[in-house]
């Protein structure tokens, strides 16, 4: 039901490195994580890049205005995505999804790829991300359809993006992301042929956890930074969670 690691480094390196960068991936690995979560959207020319915010101004300060989809991939990868975090990371750039996939494959890191589309590009983003992942995992898909643990997991708050991913590459597993549990959660999971529900731990209760697990789905939480809360939800049957506090990995061996 959940063949993946229990604890996942949020946006690569949690609070220890600039999010959604190769530096963050290296940081997570240095702290023993072989499982990362990160966000992906599309450039103007349709190439998947790592970024959480649709608009600049938080993690990319120059240019301080504009949207990711207004710039080509070549323009984006020249932008500084590290200075906002600390001078140590000045010059750390926005990475292409392909670069991160190659890094993770080389270092045996499992990926939870969150499809984070611009609202106007939901279908295109879901399709492009799924196709990029498939390109790098085609041998796994062809050789061992039953071993999901070897494949990344695509997740998204966007039903349309996940549906586009499903239609483009049905072999890549999917998870539906929600903040609070919607009334139609089960129907959405079934339509998407999803294997898991991802939910904000602040909106998770024991009855919800039981309902999701009894329905036969994996259950994953974001973003858990407190040891007591981590232990509580895992006792409820939660399969895994992402965290900014990489030290939490010490409580569970499977990272």
Catalytic residues: 10, 52
CB contact at 8 A, 251 and 227: yes
Rounded CA separation 211/152 (Å): 25
Rounded CA separation 244/253 (Å): 17
């Amino acid at each position: 039901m959940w063949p993946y690691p229990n604890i996942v480094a949020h946006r690569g390196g949690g609070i220890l490195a600039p999010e959604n960068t190769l530096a963050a991936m290296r940081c997570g690995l240095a702290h023993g994580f072989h499982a990362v979560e990160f966000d992906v959207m599309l450039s103007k020319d349709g190439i998947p890049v790592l970024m959480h915010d649709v608009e600049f101004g938080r993690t990319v300060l120059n240019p301080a205005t504009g949207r990711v989809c207004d710039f080509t991939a070549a323009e984006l990868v020249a932008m500084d995505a590290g200075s906002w975090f600390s001078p140590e990371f000045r010059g750390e750039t926005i990475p292409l999804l392909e670069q991160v996939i190659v890094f993770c494959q080389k270092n045996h890191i499992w990926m939870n790829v969150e499809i984070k589309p611009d609202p106007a590009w939901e279908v295109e983003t879901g399709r492009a991300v799924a196709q990029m992942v498939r390109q790098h995992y085609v041998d796994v898909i062809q050789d061992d359809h039953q071993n999901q643990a070897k494949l990344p997991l695509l997740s998204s708050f966007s039903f349309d993006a996940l549906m586009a991913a499903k239609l483009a590459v049905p072999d890549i597993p999917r998870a539906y992301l929600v903040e609070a549990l919607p009334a139609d959660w089960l129907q959405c999971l079934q339509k998407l042929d999803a294997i898991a529900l991802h939910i904000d731990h602040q909106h998770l209760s024991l009855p919800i956890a039981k309902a999701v697990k009894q329905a036969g789905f994996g259950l994953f939480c974001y973003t858990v930074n407190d040891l007591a809360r981590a232990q509580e939800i895992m006792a409820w049957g939660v399969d895994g969670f992402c965290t900014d506090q990489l030290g939490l990995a010490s409580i569970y061996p499977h990272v």
